[in-house]
């Protein structure tokens, strides 16, 4: 009995010693605890931070950040974070309340800082051909009338990550914030950001080249919500959607009827569902127009690690493949 007790005490002491030792090691190489509001941003932060960061992502794979409801664990993660990364441009409407309730007092890094935010209209219709400079020939006078959407008018489009060139700005902002938080690792953050940014540059060129192979008149597709304005502007595909730039407000019957009319008029070449939204509306439109569904685009969230869009780069490649194949027709 006595020996048993003694060995238990020794065991506990030993366990205590090793606990102290291991926490000592942990302290020496302690990771910066950071929070990213959604999965795509979480991937960027992980790429730049590498081994130096422990990233908690709030809205995970296939999650819809427009209508997210924070959980108690989110406030806990935020309370112990050194940095919190957000997209901004009114993407995370639930964020301010979460910050307040968590008691987080650290910096709130807006990853879209420095990106020229697109208004709802930009990239939505007439900027779709990437004709940023020069000829804004609004030759067809009816174009203006096509813009009388009654949703989200004049608001900024938050989906800036849908251009790989913008993703490079996210990465730059993340590197700067991490450098400010841990100067000793700044060289590593900058090196990570540089090499990842090179990959993003290559991705940008790859998407452009892939889309350019599709005849212009075929580059006209339908998705669930207006998440592809920046993609449209950067790569030259026209997107239409029954829902606006947020999934918060449901599409009205009028929106849907108008879209169906437009699909018939413009001869849209493909119809897509999205990983974050309800598919029923698109299925209904498919039924009424006879346009087949070309698959699921990843708009506002990555897939699970095992899925086809487990990283940002894979997501953009996957979307580009689906889009170009469906537009090319078979």
Binding site for Zn ion (CB under 5 A): 227, 300
Closer CB to Zn ion, residue 118 or residue 227?
A: 227
Minimum gap (Å) between residue 40 Cβ and Zn ion: 11
Q: 68-75: which pairs have CB atoms within 8 A and are 24 or more residues apart?
A: 68/92, 68/94, 69/94, 70/94, 70/97, 70/98, 74/98, 74/102, 75/101, 75/102
- Nearer Cβ to Zn ion (162/185): 162
Residue ranges of alpha helices (H) inside the chain are: 2-28, 39-49, 72-79, 95-102, 164-181, 186-212, 229-235, 253-266, 280-289, 312-328
| Distance of alpha carbon 39 from alpha carbon 82, whole angstroms | 18
Least distance (Å) from Zn ion to the CB of residue 44?
A: 17
Is the CB of 85 or the CB of 228 nearer to Zn ion?
228
CB of 158 to Zn ion, least distance (A): 7
Nearest distance, CB of residue 121 and Zn ion, angstroms: 16
Shortest distance, position 155 Cβ to Zn ion, whole Å: 12
Which is nearer to Zn ion, 182 or 300 (by Cβ)?
Answer: 300
| Nearer Cβ to Zn ion (196/231) | 231
Nearer Cβ to Zn ion, position 188 or 224?
A: 224
Q: What are φ and ψ of residue 19, in 5° steps?
A: -65, -45
Output DSSP code: residue 185: G
Instruction: Show the tokens assigned to 198.
Output: 């090179």
Number of C-beta neighbours around residue 132 at 10 A: 11
CA-to-CA dists, residue 285 to 229, 253, 259, 288, angstroms: 21, 11, 9, 5
Least distance from Zn ion to the Cβ atom of residue 95, Å? 15
């Amino acid at each position: 009995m006595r020996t048993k007790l003694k060995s238990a005490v020794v065991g506990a002491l030993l366990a205590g010693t090793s606990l102290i030792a291991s926490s000592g090691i942990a302290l020496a190489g302690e990771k910066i605890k950071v929070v990213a509001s959604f999965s795509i941003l979480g991937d960027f932060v992980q790429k730049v931070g590498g081994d130096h960061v422990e990233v908690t992502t709030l809205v995970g794979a296939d999650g819809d950040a427009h209508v997210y409801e924070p959980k108690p664990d989110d406030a806990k993660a935020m309370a112990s974070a050194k940095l919190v990364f957000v997209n901004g441009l009114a993407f995370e409407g639930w964020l301010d309340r979460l910050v307040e309730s968590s008691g987080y007092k650290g910096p709130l890094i807006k990853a879209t800082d420095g990106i020229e935010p697109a208004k709802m209209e930009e990239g939505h219709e007439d900027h779709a051909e990437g004709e940023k400079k020069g000829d804004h020939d609004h030759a067809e006078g009816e174009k203006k009338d096509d813009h009388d959407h009654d949703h989200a008018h004049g608001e900024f489009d938050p989906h800036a990550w849908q251009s790989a060139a913008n993703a490079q700005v996210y990465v730059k902002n993340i590197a700067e914030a991490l450098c400010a938080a841990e100067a000793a690792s700044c060289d590593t953050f900058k090196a990570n950001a540089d090499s990842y940014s090179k990959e993003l540059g290559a991705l940008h060129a790859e998407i452009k080249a892939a889309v350019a192979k599709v005849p212009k008149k075929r580059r006209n597709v339908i998705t669930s919500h207006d998440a592809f304005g920046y993609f449209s502007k950067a790569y030259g595909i026209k997107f239409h959607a029954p829902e606006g730039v947020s999934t918060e407000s449901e599409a009205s019957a009028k929106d849907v009827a108008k879209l169906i009319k437009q699909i018939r008029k413009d001869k849209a070449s493909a119809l897509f569902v999205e990983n974050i939204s309800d598919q029923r509306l698109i299925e209904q439109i498919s039924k009424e127009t006879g346009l087949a569904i070309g698959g699921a685009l990843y708009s506002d969230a990555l897939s699970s690690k095992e899925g086809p869009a487990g990283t940002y780069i894979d997501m953009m490649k996957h979307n580009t493949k689906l889009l170009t194949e469906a537009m090319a027709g078979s």
